[in-house]
Amino acid sequence: MTIATGTDSARTRRKLDVGGTSIDYYSIAAATEAGLGDFSKLPASLKVVLENLLRFEDGGRTVSVDDIKAFAEWAAKGGQNPREIAYRPARVLMQDFTGVPAVVDLAAMRDGIKALGGDPQKINPLNPVDLVIDHSVMIDEFGTPRAFQRNVELEYERNMERYTFLKWGQNAFNNFRVVPPGTGICHQVNLEYLAQTVWTDKDQNGIEVAYPDTLVGTDSHTTMVNGLAVLGWGVGGIEAEAAMLGQPISMLIPEVVGFKITGALREGVTATDLVLKVVQMLRKHGVVGKFVEFYGDGLDHMPLADRATIANMAPEYGATCGFFPIDGETLRYLRQTGRDESRIALVEAYAKENGLWRGKDYAPVYSSTLELDQGDVVPAISGPKRPQDHVALTDSAREFRKYICGTRQLPEPSETSEKRWNAEGGAPAPSDLPGHHDGYKSGTVEGQDYQLHDGSVVIAAITSCTNTSNPYVLMAAGLVARKARALGLTRRPWVKTSLAPGSQVVAEYLEAANLQDDLDALGFNLVGFGCTTCIGNSGPLQPEISKSINDNDLVAVSVLSGNRNFEGRISPDVRANYLASPPLVVAYAIAGDMNIDLTREPLAHTADGKPVFLKDIWPSSKEVAALVDSIVTREMFQTKYADVFKGDERWRAVEVTDSETYDWPPSSTYIQNPPYFRGMGKDKGTIHNIEGARVLALLGDMITTDHISPAGSFKPTTPAGKYLTDRQVAPKDFNSYGSRRGNHEVMMRGTFANIRIKNEMLDGVEGGYTKGPDGQQTSIYDAAMAYQAEGVPLVIFGGIEYGAGSSRDWAAKGTNLLGVKAVIAESFERIHRSNLVGMGVIPFEFTGGDTRKTLGLKGDEIVSIDGLDGDFKPLSLVPCTIQYADGTTKMIQLKARVDTEVEIEYLENGGVLHYVLRNLAKA
C-alpha cells in the first residue's frame, strides 16, 4: 500500500534516526515551531489524531490550518473544542458477522458502479483490511475430548457458502486479507500480531514514513487494542466500508476524560474485577462520545493484558475508546509477543520524539477526571442484564434474590430472613429459602436425579476476547480447576461448560502448564477458537434441561467471562446473565447455583463430606504470576502466528472462481445482492419532511443493538424462520441471525425480533411484535410491510442510550429496510447514531424535558416532522407535530442528531455508501 499525504503538510515533516536508520515522520513539535499552536499539554490519544491531520493537511479540502490550530485551542479551553475534523485511520479490522455484509456491500457496489458507467476496479480497499473469521463457531459439543473437532466440522458444514464468498473477496479485492476460522478472535489476533503501535509505509514518492498505528473496526470491541496504545474504535460496517474506500471519517474533536489509576490490586483480585469497577464508574460519570485516557502511577503495576481488558470494555462504559499511552510495559509486551526488535526500537524512539510517551512527568490537560485506587477494588460480577450492573461478590447471592423478587413481583427479603439465610449457610433447596418458599420456582429434569430452580447456573463459559487475551486470569482459572480436581470436585451435571480461547497461543500455554488436563476434568474442554457464548453462540442446552426451564418458567443463569450480558443475548433459555473472571466461572460451574454466597458458603463437598470454600481453591497472585512468567514465551507467539493466513486443510480446500464481480447464487439463503443501489441515479436527491408517519415501536431505555438486530438463534415460527422453511431449509440448519447477515431478506425479518424486546404499544408482550394498520397485534416485519404497501412512513420512539452495545450495522440497515424514516429517543449511543445516518435514517432527540412518557404516547399517534427540506443544518432544532388518536395535536421541538455537514450529504444521497459510490463513479 502507498499512503497519500497532504500537499501542505511538508512544513511539519522531519526525520528520525533509529538504530542508524533514518525514517520520515510528522512532528508535533514542528507544528508548534511553525506557529500553529502549543500542543504540549494534549493527551497522547489526541496527539495521535493531531498527527493524522498534520500528515493529511491539504489546504482546506479536507484538513485546514484551522483544524490543526483547533487542537491547541482545545487544550487552552480546558479540553473543550468540538470542531468537525476529517480523520483517516491507517487500516480496518473486521470479523465475519459484520465483515460478510461489508463484503456483500462492496460486491454490490461493483455492480452499482458498473450500472453507472464506472469502473468496477474503483471499488477496492485503499487502506489495508484484515477480516478474522471468529464469530461462526457454535458450541454444539462440549465437555468431551472431541468437542473442538466436532464443533469445527459443524462450523464448516453450516458456513461453507459464507466462507466461499469471503475467499472470493480475498481474491477479488486488493488490500484485503482473511484470517481463516480456528485461528482466534479478531481483537486478540490484532493485539497479539497485527497491531504495530507505530506503523510504517511508503508515501506517494516512495519514501518510508512512520506514524501512529490507527484503525477502525466493524466490531465495537476494536477498542481492545488501545491497551497497546493503538487508537482504534468500532464503527458500523457501512462507515468502515467508506473508510476502506478512502473516505475520511467525519468526527468532532472529542472530550478526553482522564482516569487516574493509583495503587495495586489486592491479593485475590483480578483484572476482570478491576474492569467491572471501571465500567460502573465511567457509566456513572458519563463518557458517551468521549475518549477515556488512563494515566497515573498505578499503570506501573498494570500488565498490558490488564490494560487490554479495560480497553476492550470501552463500549460497555460508553466511550469511543479507552486509551493507554506508550510506556515501558508497551515495549515489554511487543517483545514478548514476537514483534521485531527494529519495530520495538522505532516505537520507543517515535513515542519519545513525538510526545506520545508516558513518563514520570506525563501530565496533560483533560476535559474531566476521576480516580481509582486499585487497592479499593474487590472481587465482583456484573449482571443480570447489563455490564455496568456491578455487584460485589459478597453481595452476589443477596442481589440475585432481590432480582428474583422483582421478577416474581415479590416483596424483597426481610432483615430477619437475611439473618436466617446467612446463619444457616449451605445451599438450601428452593423450598427452604427463607422468605421465598412461595416465590422461588423449581422443576424436575426428565431422566435425571436432580432438580433445577430459580438461580441454577446452566452455562459457565470461559469465552470472549475480553479475558481470554489475559494469561493471568486464564492461568488462574486453570489453577482453580487443578485445586478443585485434587479435592475430587467437578462441575454440576446441569452446567454446560466451555473454554473458547481468543487465540491458539492460549491453548499452547495452558497445555504447556499442564492446566488443560485439569480444566478438561471439570468439563472446560476446548470447544473452538472464537467468540462463542459472548455473542450468543452458546449452542443448545440439553433438551431435558431446556424443557424444565421453559415448562416451569425458571430464571436460569449463565456466568461467562465475556463483555456482554444483555437480555436474550446469551441463550434463549437463560434470563439472568453475569459477567465474571475466568476463575470465578470455574467456581460457579462447581457451585451450580447463583443463590450460593461464594464468599461465605461452601461451593461443594468432598467425597467424605468436608465442605470446600472458594478460598480453598483460589490461587495466590504469586502462584499465577510465577506460572505466567515461566510458561508464556515469545516463541509461542512467533510459532502460532507464522502461518496465520494459511489456515487448516479445510480452509485450503475451499474452492473459488476468480471474477471481478460476484456471481450471486439465486438460491442462496446466506448471500444475496442487497437492494440499496438498485435504480440509483448519478445525482443526489434532497432530504424530505416526514409527513403522516405511524409508530412502528415504542421502546424503553437502554435498547441495545441486540434488541434491534439479534445475533443468535431463531425459531421456525418467526418471520425469518418462515422465510427459510419456505425455501426448504430445515430448522436444524437455520444457524443464526449473525451468520446470515449476508442475506437482507433474513435480516430485515429479524429486525426488532429479540425475544426479550418489549414494545410498549402492547401490554406485557415480549418479542418482535407491534400493531399493524388494522390495530391488531402482528410481527414488526409484517406490520412494516403492510405500511410500506400503503406508502406510509414509519418512526420509532425510544428512551435513553438508544442503540447501546455492538457496532452492528444491521441494526441500522434493518431499520431502513423496514421503512423507518426517523428514530426519536432521549439519547443515542455513538456508533448506532452514526449507523442510522449512514443508512439514511434520521436520529432525533427530544428537547425541553419531553419523553415518550411525558407526552403520553401509546403508539397510535400520527407523527410529522418539518424543517428538513429547507436549510437543514447539523444539530438543527425542528418542529414535530404529534396527532393523538382522539384528534388532538401537540407541537414539540426535536434536535436532529445529524452532527456534521458531511452527514447532511450522506442523507441527501440516501446513505454513506451511495455518497461514496456516486463520487467514485464521477471521478
Q: pLDDT tens across 762-778, in order?
A: 998 999 999 999 999 99
Q: Tell me, what CATH number does 484's domain have? A: 3.30.499.10
Residue bearing the bigger pLDDT, 607 or 530: 607
Exposed e or buried b per residue across 306-339, where buried means at least 16 C-beta atoms within 10 angstroms of its C-beta: bbbbbbbbbbbbbbbbbbbbbbebbbebbebbbb
Please check whether residue 621 lies inside any domain of the structure.
Answer: no
How sure is the predictor about 4, in pLDDT bands with cuts at 50, 70 and 90?
Answer: low
Contact between residue 173 and residue 124 where contact means Cβ atoms under 8 Å apart: yes
- Residues 732 and 851 reside in one and the same domain: yes
- Residues 694 and 595 reside in one and the same domain: no
Please check whether residue 720 lies inside any domain of the structure.
Answer: yes
Please check whether residue 790 lies inside any domain of the structure.
Answer: yes
Tally the domains of the chain. 2
* Highest mean pLDDT out of 115-124, 534-543, 609-618: 609-618
pLDDT of residue 415: 52
pLDDT of residue 425: 39
Please check whether residue 209 lies inside any domain of the structure.
Answer: no
- If residue 380 lies in a helix (H) or strand (E), which one and from where to where? strand 380-382
Whether a cis peptide bond, with omega within 30° of 0, leads into 384 is: yes
Contact between residue 283 and residue 317 where contact means Cβ atoms under 8 Å apart: yes
Please check whether residue 902 lies inside any domain of the structure.
Answer: yes
How sure is the predictor about 414, in pLDDT bands with cuts at 50, 70 and 90?
Answer: low
For 834-850, write each residue's pLDDT tens digit.
Answer: 899 999 999 999 999 99
Contact between residue 285 and residue 368 where contact means Cβ atoms under 8 Å apart: yes
SS3 369: strand
d(CA 669, CA 686): 35
pLDDT of residue 886: 96
How sure is the predictor about 368, in pLDDT bands with cuts at 50, 70 and 90?
Answer: very high
Span 779-801, average pLDDT: 97
Span 365-388, average pLDDT: 95
Domain endpoint, select from 563, 585, 604 = 604
d(CA 610, CA 602): 9
Please check whether residue 451 lies inside any domain of the structure.
Answer: yes
- Residues 728 and 827 reside in one and the same domain: yes
Domain endpoint, select from 545, 574, 604 = 604
**Any residues with CB less than 8 A from the CB of 77 and at least 6 apart, and which?**
none
Please check whether residue 736 lies inside any domain of the structure.
Answer: yes
pLDDT of residue 406: 83
For 130-172, write each residue's pLDDT tens digit.
Answer: 999 988 888 899 999 999 999 999 999 988 999 999 999 999 9
Whether the pLDDT of residue 424 is over 80: the answer is: no
For 87-135, write each residue's pLDDT tens digit.
Answer: 999 999 999 888 888 899 999 999 999 888 889 988 999 899 999 998 8
How sure is the predictor about 831, in pLDDT bands with cuts at 50, 70 and 90?
Answer: confident
For 217-270, write each residue's pLDDT tens digit.
Answer: 988 899 999 999 999 999 878 888 888 888 888 889 999 999 999 999 999 999
Please check whether residue 373 lies inside any domain of the structure.
Answer: no
Domain that includes residue 505, residue range: 380-604
How sure is the predictor about 430, in pLDDT bands with cuts at 50, 70 and 90?
Answer: very low
- Residues 699 and 570 reside in one and the same domain: no
How sure is the predictor about 434, in pLDDT bands with cuts at 50, 70 and 90?
Answer: very low
- Residues 700 and 592 reside in one and the same domain: no
Q: Tell me, what CATH number does 802's domain have? A: 3.20.19.10
Whether the pLDDT of residue 416 is over 70: the answer is: no
DSSP code string of 2-30: EE---TT-GGGEEEEEETTEEEEEE-HHH
Whether the pLDDT of residue 649 is over 60: the answer is: yes
Q: What is the dihedral of CA 296, 562, 554, 448, to 10 degrees?
A: -130
Strands 380-382 and 457-462: unpaired
- Residues 798 and 894 reside in one and the same domain: yes
pLDDT of residue 336: 96
Strands 442-444 and 176-179: unpaired
**Any residues with CB less than 8 A from the CB of 831 and at least 6 apart, and which?**
220, 234, 235, 236, 315, 803, 806, 807
How sure is the predictor about 2, in pLDDT bands with cuts at 50, 70 and 90?
Answer: low
Strands (E), 629-771: 690-698, 769-771
Span 278-298, average pLDDT: 95
pLDDT of residue 871: 87
- Residues 775 and 917 reside in one and the same domain: yes
Contact between residue 783 and residue 793 where contact means Cβ atoms under 8 Å apart: no
What percent of the chain stands above pLDDT 90? Answer: 77
- Residues 570 and 709 reside in one and the same domain: no
Strands 496-499 and 457-462: parallel
d(CA 863, CA 824): 11
d(CA 554, CA 176): 47
Domain endpoint, select from 587, 604, 621 = 604
Whether the pLDDT of residue 411 is over 80: the answer is: no
User: Residue 675: how many CB atoms within 10 A of its CB?
Assistant: 12
pLDDT of residue 423: 40
d(CA 503, CA 269): 24
pTM over 0.95: no
DSSP code string of 134-182: -S----SS-SSTTHHHHHHHHHHHHHHHHHHHHHHHHHHSTTEEEEPTT
- Residues 713 and 573 reside in one and the same domain: no
For 556-588, write each residue's pLDDT tens digit.
Answer: 999 999 888 887 788 989 999 999 999 999 999
d(CA 859, CA 141): 44
SS3 760: coil
- Residues 428 and 552 reside in one and the same domain: yes
Span 20-43, average pLDDT: 96
Of the listed ranges 114-118, 450-454, 856-860, the one predicted with least confidence? 114-118
Question: To the nearest whole number, what is the mean pLDDT of the chain?
Answer: 92
pLDDT of residue 61: 79
How sure is the predictor about 59, in pLDDT bands with cuts at 50, 70 and 90?
Answer: confident
Which runs of consecutive H residues, i.e. helices, occur in 799-885?
Answer: 810-817, 830-838
d(CA 545, CA 445): 6
